[in-house]
A = this chain, B = another copy of it.
Amino acid sequence: MEKIPSVNNLTIAAKRIQPYIHRTPVLTSETINRMFGSSFFFKCENFQKVGAFKSRGAVNAVFSLNDKSVINGVATHSSGNHAQALARAGRLRRVPVYIVMPRNAPRVKINAVRNYGGIITFCEPTLKAREETLKRVIKETGSVEIHPYDNYRIIEGQATCTMELIEDAGAPDMILCPVGGGGLLSGTALAAAYFSKNTEVIVCEPAMADDAYRSFRAGRLIPGVNPETIADGLLTSLGERNFPIIRKFVKDIVTVSEESIIEAMRLVYERMKIIIEPSSAVPVAALIENKLDVKGKTVGIILSGGNVDLKNLPF
């Protein structure tokens, strides 16, 4: 039976992925510190390979497979950052990568996957079609499925982000993290629990896609129904392997409005001069809504990615 990743699993993952990922910088902003009376440490995964933390988990998952298991390649269904990250990881391991994508995926995403050598199979834009097509591709190719978040190797990889944050900026009083499927969040929660046990992990989620909030409060998984948020990386519902870790190690969850997410995005662009995707702005939105007791505290914030359409900024 699979077990929740241990301290040792996380340490191995950090070593395993180190040659293939970017140790992203931790930035600070005196303006934002002053605004909220705290010391913030922004872990800049927008500067990560393929522009998002997803590179960490994908590399860990692909390189944790032994030569025999991986020989027929890996597969997933995704139209987002995970697809690119997996395509890149497979290319580094020199194995084929099969990506199932909805027919209506944006051209820029399709091209990005192809640039990394990913082999795309298109399907109808429904979850059912995606899952069935993936099943067929796996059967035909003998490849191994790498789920974007409901996978312990993925979770371990995403955990390395917080391990680096703690190493480079010290153990903060709190870490703020967004949540979609929960891959980044469960990794963050595990890393904090193992390497900085006094650090509280607080989750920030769009109110318009609040399945994690409702699941956390109810104590059972409640999938989202038609979530709609500008934070397009957070539309997915919590995974089965992710939820128990989150229940156990996360201190609290708060939700934020779409308006605050946009305001937070602009604040980071204007004051920090860095480009983040809307999902990354969700924890900053929670500060703007004054929902967190951060005053006088040291606070780590995971900026999860920077893949955004610069022609369609929401402000």
Contacts and interface: CB of A to CB of B under 8 A. Distances in A.
Interface of A: 25, 27, 46-47, 51, 266, 269-270, 272-276, 306, 310-311, 313, 315
A266 B306 contact: no
Say how many copies of this protein the assembly contains.
2
A271 to B, nearest CB: 9
A269 B315 contact: no
A276 to B, nearest CB: 8
Contacts of A27: 25, 47
Contacts of A315: 310-311
A269 B51 contact: no
A269 B310 contact: yes
A47 B29 CA distance: 9
A276 B272 CA distance: 11
A10 to B, nearest CB: 26
Contacts of A273: 46-47, 51, 274-276, 306
A53 to B, nearest CB: 13
A92 to B, nearest CB: 13
Contacts of A25: 25, 27
Nearest to A44: B273
A277 B25 CA distance: 22
A310 B270 contact: yes
Contacts of A311: 315
13 contacts: A25-B25, A25-B27, A27-B47, A46-B273, A47-B272, A47-B273, A273-B274, A273-B275, A275-B275, A310-B313, A310-B315, A311-B315, A313-B313
Contacts of A272: 47
A51 B274 CA distance: 12
A214 to B, nearest CB: 32
A313 B308 CA distance: 14
